[in-house]
Amino acid sequence: MSKTDDLRWVTQLTLLGDKSAFDKLTCKYQSPIRRFFLNLTMGDAPLSDDLAQETFIKAYLNINAFKGISGFSTWLYRIAYNVFYDSVRAQKHYADLDEHVVDCQHQTQNDFSAEKLDIYKAIKQLRREEQTAVLLFYIEDRTQNEIARIMNCPLGTVKTYLLKGKEKLNVYLTQAGYGN
Amino acid sequence: MFTSHKPVMETKDADKLLKDFFGEHKQEIQDNGFTRRVMRKLPEQADRSWIVWCFAFVGMVLSLMLGFSSGSLQAAISYLLQIPIYYLVGVIFCFPLVSTAGLLLAGNRRF
């Protein structure tokens, strides 16, 4: 399914109010958006699902604001990014999570928890902006330009986030034995 | 933050290491009713399909008016009247078959 499908579904929704078109968009993007939140919240599945739900509802309510300049997925990630940072500002929730708590949450909430711990430990080495940039670049396969649009910052800043993130992760992963 | 015991890798290797690491940990999340829950929470919006019908009606009226004023509609009708009625009936009956076959072909290509 291509970007043309996205545009067709967005047009059906905006012009005709066709809800089934949004159902298709949600179905297509639920996995990447939920995965993005899952990594940002260090594996808190219920919280990431709540945030993803909020993202899709906001997208639905503001669909008329989508101008089609960037792709629908970039626009959706931008909303997701804002939802996440609004949530962080409101709760200051994730900063207090330590690895033990995360570990416990994984064991009870996720089937894939054991293998996922390494990635959360690695991500925790980074500052929040670096985490976002690195996750978007390496996991969500976004380009640097798209990340700049999603994070609403200059391209140079994104490059700096990625460079610093890479440096920190390399040191961490090498020490954890991944480079061998 | 860390005291490095090993020399840091070259940029190319470092990039590959990160790509491999994140590639290994990339997962697809099953829907498990998520889309249904989102759709249930969406607020109701007014049905705007009337816009399509409205535009279709205006377009039809305009084309009829233009057809009549230019005389092309009368010419088309007189041309149709010259065609034997059996041919017209044949075309009308064939139309659903041909269009269904076309739709099926288009559908097969797409999926």
Q: Note the ipTM here.
A: 0.77
Say if A118 falls within a structural domain: no
- Number of domains present in the structure of chain A: 2
Q: Check which CATH number belongs to the domain holding A84 and give it.
A: 1.10.1740.10
For residues A13 and A93, membership in a common domain is answered with yes
The pair phi, psi for residue A142, each rounded to 5°, is -90, 150
**What would the pLDDT profile of B14-67 be if each residue is shown by its tens digit?**
788 888 888 888 888 999 899 999 999 988 776 677 788 899 999 999 999 998
Query: For residue A22, what pLDDT is reported?
Result: 92
Token code pair at residue B109: 């290509």
What is the nearest CA distance from A128 to chain B, expressed in angstroms? 16
By C-alpha distance, which of B12, B58, B19, B103 is closest to A138?
B19
**What would the pLDDT profile of A1-12 be if each residue is shown by its tens digit?**
577 888 889 988
What is the nearest CA distance from B58 to chain A, expressed in angstroms? 17
Query: For residue A26, what pLDDT is reported?
Result: 94
Q: Which domain holds residue A58?
A: 1-113
CA distances to A48, A68, A169 from A173, rounded to whole Å, are 26, 39, 6
Say if A120 falls within a structural domain: no
Considering only CB atoms, which chain A residues are within 8 Å of B17?
170, 173-174, 178-179
Round to whole Å and give the CA distance between A126 and A161: 9
What is the nearest CA distance from A117 to chain B, expressed in angstroms? 10
By C-alpha distance, which of A159, A151, A154 is closest to A80?
A151
> A55, A33 in Cβ contact below 8 A?
yes
For residues A96 and A138, membership in a common domain is answered with no
Query: For residue B68, what pLDDT is reported?
Result: 87
Considering only CB atoms, which chain B residues are within 8 Å of A23?
35, 39
Say if A32 falls within a structural domain: yes
Asked if B34 and A173 come within 8 Å (Cβ–Cβ), the reply is no
Asked if B42 and A19 come within 8 Å (Cβ–Cβ), the reply is yes
Is residue B109's pLDDT more than 70?
no
Say if A58 falls within a structural domain: yes
For residues A60 and A131, membership in a common domain is answered with no
Could you tell me the mean pLDDT of each successive run of 10 residues in chain A, 180 residues long?
82 84 93 94 91 95 86 94 91 56 48 62 89 93 94 94 91 78
Rounded to the nearest 5 percent, the helix, strand and coil shares of chain A are 80, 0, 20
